[in-house]
């Protein structure tokens, strides 16, 4: 019997797509590709989950003079239009949403907590973590897609592998920041993560 597998869709939000405050080239197209993929493959997964940057007061993560390494322009402020999922992403098949980064920088979805549908302002700080939820649903393998390949997708995949999940990054369903994603791919492969 196949290991139960989840699709983890990382941070496909307005601020990370064209026109957003921290836009990644190809973000909107990645959202469309994920939606098309779900239309064909949602039934292949035992669960589909999303993550969202959901910043309330993340301290030095926000800066008026960002270095684009540890500090960034304000983005994905909790409850703002920029924090909403991009319109090209159809979340109808999503089973759970996890919000991260309320009071700190948070790149990995495994730093997120379960959000309730319709809870626009809540920070979900006391609810189940992504790891808790996946284990509760007997998930043993994850596919990771989303934005940005070399930041939050990378961090989520690395944490998934460290947590014992058989992990695969669906590179065609991601958008990255760096012109050369080779080093990111090598790091992922070196951590036992499959690329597809």
- From the list 53, 100, 131, 143, the catalytic residue is 100
Residue 52 is encoded by which pair of tokens?
């969202």
Q: How far apart are CA 161 and CA 131, in angstroms?
A: 11
| 180 CA to centre of own chain | 20
Active-site residue, 152 included? yes
Q: How far apart are CA 32 and CA 61, in angstroms?
A: 29
Q: Which residues pair with 47 in a beta bridge?
A: 6
Sign of the CA dihedral with 66 first, then 67, 72, and 73 last: positive
- From the list 11, 15, 131, 159, the catalytic residue is 11
Active-site residue, 67 included? no
- From the list 17, 131, 150, 152, the catalytic residue is 152
CA distances from 2 to 5, 56, 93, 192 (A): 8, 40, 21, 19
Catalytically active residues are 11, 100, 152
């Amino acid at each position: 019997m196949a290991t139960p597998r989840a699709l983890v869709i990382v941070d496909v939000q307005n601020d990370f797509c064209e026109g957003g405050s921290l836009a990644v080239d190809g973000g909107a197209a990645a959202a469309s590709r994920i939606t098309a993929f779900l239309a064909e493959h949602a039934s292949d997964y035992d669960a589909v989950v999303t993550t969202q940057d959901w910043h309330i007061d993340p301290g030095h993560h926000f800066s008026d003079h960002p270095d684009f390494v540890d500090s960034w322009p304000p983005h994905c402020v909790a409850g703002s239009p920029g924090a909403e999922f991009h319109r090209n992403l159809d979340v109808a098949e999503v089973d759970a949403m996890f919000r991260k980064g309320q009071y700190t920088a948070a790149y990995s979805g495994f730093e997120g907590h379960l959000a309730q549908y319709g809870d626009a302002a809540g920070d979900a700080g006391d609810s189940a973590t992504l790891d808790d939820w996946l284990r509760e649903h007997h998930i043993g393998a994850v596919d990771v897609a989303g934005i940005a390949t070399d930041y939050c997708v990378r961090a989520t995949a690395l944490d998934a592998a460290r947590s014992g999940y058989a992990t695969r990054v669906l590179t065609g369903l991601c958008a990255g920041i760096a012109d050369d994603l080779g080093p990111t791919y090598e790091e992922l492969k070196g951590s036992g993560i499959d690329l597809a």
